[in-house]
């Protein structure tokens, strides 16, 4: 019959057919649509404001065993910093320890005897920061600030021959606590949110998409039509890629204008990397939807995947602080690689060469999961 | 209009179709040969395997055994080709309820890669009287309109064979009549139709019927043939309050079943003498009229649905 287009292979027209249908359905489904806008907004506000991983004005005690001018400069610098609230002076080291132990203070800073004299002599005395490490994440910024500040505190004082003395430094700042190399900051969290939000919504929405067809009985109709699984997958995924970019834009705008996150790298590069990441998540969601029998199961599978994606990806806890088995798991998760990519591009100004080691695992994941989805997609009702 | 592939006089020609789900055998060796251009009724009680058979015909389920062709394509090897030229209307409404009638048809037209899409959709809407409702969401339609929309959607691509699974369940009589008029019109245009139904009047509108029970074909042929093959003898009893005789007749020897419809009591069995004997006590009661008639299709089906019946 002349009406029929005889193409057997891949047909862009059929992809468009599915695409148009999905867009119409998405437009009518106010609830899902509002979820997809609400989730990034809520998360941005929650993680950005409410969950303050960068607390300031932490109670601090000082134990001062030197009254010299350099000791005074250090104290002045500490007072000027937002991070430390110098609220107590410890008479003895034992006193200081008790305060830390009782939780009266979060830090004890000790300026040793002969601090000033040793600097003048070039003996590089030690400035000690003892931190309450029970909440290492909370303290990490203060620790970082301590390192910075002690380095700069004496720059005005050390003029003449002492200032020229590049190495060894005038004194060393010693921090006693578990070192947290990734130091979670505000800047880290907000870009990282992009990965979490995309994982959450993209996987969930596609996982539901096919399951919904099955639950409503429209799947049988879809199967009875001459449309290839790959065409269905593309048609269902593309609309959500658009949605994903809308979410990303929301978060990036928030990052820029509310949280003033630096954006050092190329946004075009970031956009492309996000495309790969979104596709990987959508393919996974599609695979879930070929396995789940109903929307509840699809939801549960999404949550099951989401938890490690949040906890193990380096978003919440520093990757290098995790045991090896957890690191091995997280290397499989797209979000782990994406966290490195997004932070690399925004915060470190990484280019393509630097992010490639984290892009190819995403592509590999996409290829493998996409193939699995195609294999799982049954062309019959069996 | 009908461009039959040379050498195939049958639109459906399958033998020994079998399908099991776990331990349950849903379809157990079904043979169906439907000549092109005919309208066949596919009947049987719920769970007898009609839907499963139809799904195997259009490539939605893979038969465990059996072979054959559907519109000239092998049911095992060429399901994708079959899908292209068959219109399948599912038992449960399976179009998208959050799309309008028109959007549903547009989707179907795109998927089948139809040329002049807009025109075709327009024509089909008009043909089935859906033009005025084209922008209504499918989910908001009543049963009759849904069914009409589903028919429009599954004939949009000009299939050569229509497989309709209980298309008129839950539809009012006028809508059913309209529906059958459309079916006969399509059939005159050369389309072959296999339709499942539970309605006797619809079965009587078919060229032939196939009746299955527990996955096996029990009887087939024209309505007349099916009635003759049944070997059933039926008496009707008319009169005031005849239903009170049901209990005493049901247990009587020679009485296979008793049914009340059309204000008459239908008493059927296989042995005329035994039946007469069973009815004898009623002959003296005044006001009752007892006479033998040709069994109706309904009598035959009631009989076929009785569990102990075996294949003829
Ligand atoms: N997907 C399936 N899985 C398991 N059993 C099924 C499935 N589909 C149908 N059946 C069973 O097969 C039998 C035939 O069902 P079906 O073909 O739907 O009958 P009908 O359409 O004549 O009412 C029923 O007992 C039904 O429960
Ligand atoms: Mg059925």
Model pLDDT for residues A30-51, shown as the tens digit of each residue: 887 787 788 888 888 877 765 5
H or E element that contains A235: helix A229-257
Domain end, chosen from A123, A152, A178, is at: A178
- The shortest CB-CB distance from A7 to any of B90, B95, B113 is to B113
Query: Do A218 and A270 belong together in one domain?
Result: yes
Distance CA B271, CA A155 (A): 120
* Helices then strands, each counted (H, E), chain A: 15, 5
Six-digit token string for B64: 């465990």
> CA-nearest residue of chain B to A7?
B113
Query: Do A355 and A223 belong together in one domain?
Result: yes
Q: Is B47 in the pocket of ligand 1 (CB under 6 A)?
A: yes
What pLDDT, on the 0 to 100 scale, is given for residue A74?
Answer: 82
Chain-chain contact of B55 with A381 (C-beta, under 8 angstroms): yes
> Would the pLDDT of A167 be above 60?
no
SS3 B308: coil
Report which listed range, A25-29, A150-154, A207-211, A278-282, is most confident.
A278-282
In contact, A47 and A54? CB cutoff 8 Å: no
In contact, A24 and A240? CB cutoff 8 Å: no
- The shortest CB-CB distance from A226 to any of B107, B111, B160 is to B111
Least confident of A152-156, A214-218, B228-232: A152-156
Chain-chain contact of B113 with A218 (C-beta, under 8 angstroms): no
Q: What are phi and psi of A250, to 5 degrees?
A: -55, -50
Mean pLDDT over each residue of chain B, to the nearest integer: 91
Distance CA B120, CA A60 (A): 79
CATH number at residue A153: 3.40.1710.10
Domain end, chosen from A158, A178, A198, is at: A178
Best probe residue, ligand 1, of B23, B26, B62 (max atoms within 8 Å of C-beta):
B26
Domain end, chosen from A178, A204, A238, is at: A178
Q: Is B44 in the pocket of ligand 1 (CB under 6 A)?
A: yes
DSSP H helices in A159-228:
161-164, 186-216, 218-224
What pLDDT, on the 0 to 100 scale, is given for residue B137?
Answer: 96
Query: Do A113 and A255 belong together in one domain?
Result: no
Residues 6+ apart with CB under 8 A from B240: B287
Q: What domain range includes position A334?
A: 185-381
Query: Do A146 and A198 belong together in one domain?
Result: no
Q: What are phi and psi of B234, to 5 degrees?
A: -130, 135
Q: What are phi and psi of B215, to 5 degrees?
A: 80, 0
Query: Do A365 and A261 belong together in one domain?
Result: yes
| Average pLDDT estimate for B260-282 | 89
pLDDT in tens, A258-315: 877 778 889 999 999 999 999 999 989 989 988 888 889 999 999 999 999 988 888 8
> Would the pLDDT of B130 be above 90?
yes
Atom in ligand 1 nearest the alpha carbon of residue B45: 22
H or E element that contains A130: strand A126-131
Distance CA A344, CA A316 (A): 16
SS3 A56: coil
> Would the pLDDT of B53 be above 60?
yes
Report which listed range, A148-152, A169-173, A211-215, is most confident.
A211-215
pTM value?
0.77
How far is ligand 1, taken at its centre, from the CA of residue B286, in Å?
49
User: pLDDT confidence of A160, banded at 50, 70, 90?
Assistant: low
Query: Do A127 and A273 belong together in one domain?
Result: no
Model ipTM value: 0.84
Other beta carbons within 10 angstroms of residue A34's beta carbon come to 10
Q: Which residues surround ligand 2, an ion (CB under 5 A)?
A: B 51, 91
Query: Do A159 and A195 belong together in one domain?
Result: no
> Would the pLDDT of A153 be above 60?
yes
Query: Do A66 and A162 belong together in one domain?
Result: yes
Query: Do A329 and A253 belong together in one domain?
Result: yes
């Amino acid at each position: 019959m002349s009406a029929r287009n005889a193409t057997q292979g891949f047909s862009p027209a059929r992809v468009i057919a599915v695409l148009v249908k999905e867009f119409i359905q998405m437009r009518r489904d106010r609830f899902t649509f509002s979820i997809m806008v609400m989730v990034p907004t809520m998360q941005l506000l929650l993680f950005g404001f409410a969950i303050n991983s960068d607390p300031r004005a932490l109670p601090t005690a000082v134990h001062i065993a030197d009254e010299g001018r350099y000791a005074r400069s250090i104290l002045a610098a500490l007072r000027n910093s937002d991070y430390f609230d110098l609220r107590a002076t410890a008479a003895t080291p034992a006193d200081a320890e008790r305060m830390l132990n009782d939780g009266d203070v979060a830090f004890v800073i000790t300026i040793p005897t002969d601090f000033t004299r040793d600097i003048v002599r070039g003996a590089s005395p030690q400035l000690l920061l003892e931190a309450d490490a029970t909440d290492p994440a909370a303290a990490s910024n203060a620790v970082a600030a301590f390192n910075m500040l002690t380095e700069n505190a004496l720059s005005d004082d050390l003029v003449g021959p002492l200032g020229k003395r590049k190495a060894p430094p005038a004194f060393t700042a010693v921090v006693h606590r578990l070192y947290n190399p990734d130091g979670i900051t505000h800047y880290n969290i907000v870009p990282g949110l992009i990965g979490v939000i995309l994982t959450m919504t993209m996987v969930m929405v596609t996982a539901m998409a096919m399951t919904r067809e099955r639950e409503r009985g429209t799947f049988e109709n879809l199967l009875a039509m001459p449309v290839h699984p790959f065409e269905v997958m593309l048609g269902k995924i593309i609309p959500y890629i658009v949605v994903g970019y809308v979410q990303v834009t929301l978060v990036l705008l928030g990052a820029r204008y509310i949280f003033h996150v630096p954006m050092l790298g190329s946004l075009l590069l970031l956009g492309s990397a996000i495309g790969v990441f979104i596709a990987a998540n959508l393919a996974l969601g599609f695979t879930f939807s070929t396995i789940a029998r109903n929307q509840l199961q699809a939801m549960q599978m999404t949550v099951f995947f989401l938890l490690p994606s949040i906890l193990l990806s380096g978003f919440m806890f520093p990757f290098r602080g995790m045991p090896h088995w957890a690191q091995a798991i997280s290397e499989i998760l797209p979000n782990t690689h994406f966290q490195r990519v997004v932070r690399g591009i925004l915060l470190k100004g990484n280019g393509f060469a630097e992010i490639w080691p984290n892009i190819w695992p995403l592509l590999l994941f996409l290829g493998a999961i996409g193939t699995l989805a195609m294999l799982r997609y049954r062309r019959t009702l069996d | 209009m009908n461009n039959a592939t040379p050498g195939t006089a049958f639109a459906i020609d399958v033998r020994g179709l079998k399908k099991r789900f776990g331990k349950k055998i849903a379809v157990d060796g079904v043979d169906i040969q439907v000549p092109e251009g005919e309208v066949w009724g596919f009947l049987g009680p719920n769970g007898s395997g009609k839907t499963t058979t139809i799904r195997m015909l259009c490539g939605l389920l893979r038969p465990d055994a059996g072979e054959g062709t559907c519109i000239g394509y092998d049911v095992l090897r060429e399901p994708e080709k079959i899908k292209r030229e068959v219109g399948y209307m599912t038992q449960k409404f399976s179009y998208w309820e959050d799309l309008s009638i028109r959007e549903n048809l547009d989707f179907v037209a795109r998927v089948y890669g139809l040329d002049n899409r807009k025109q075709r959709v327009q024509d089909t809407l008009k043909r089935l009287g859906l033009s005025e409702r084209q922008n209504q969401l499918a989910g908001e339609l009543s049963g009759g309109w849904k069914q009409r929309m589903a028919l429009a959607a599954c004939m949009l691509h000009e299939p050569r064979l229509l497989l309709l699974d209980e298309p008129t369940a839950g539809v009012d009589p006028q809508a059913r009549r309209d529906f059958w008029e459309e079916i006969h019109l399509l059939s005159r245009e050369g389309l072959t139709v296999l339709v499942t139904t539970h309605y006797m009047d619809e079965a009587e509108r078919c060229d032939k019927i196939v009746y299955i029970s527990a996955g096996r074909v029990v009887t087939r042929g024209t309505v007349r043939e099916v009635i003759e093959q049944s070997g059933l003898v039926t008496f009707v009893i008319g009169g005031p309050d005849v239903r009170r005789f049901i209990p005493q007749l049901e247990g009587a020897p020679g009485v296979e079943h008793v049914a009340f419809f059309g204000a008459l009591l239908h008493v059927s069995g296989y042995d005329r003498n035994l039946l007469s004997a069973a009815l004898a006590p009623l002959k003296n009661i005044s006001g009752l009229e007892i006479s033998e008639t040709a069994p109706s299709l309904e009598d035959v089906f009631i009989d076929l649905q009785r569990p102990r019946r075996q294949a003829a």
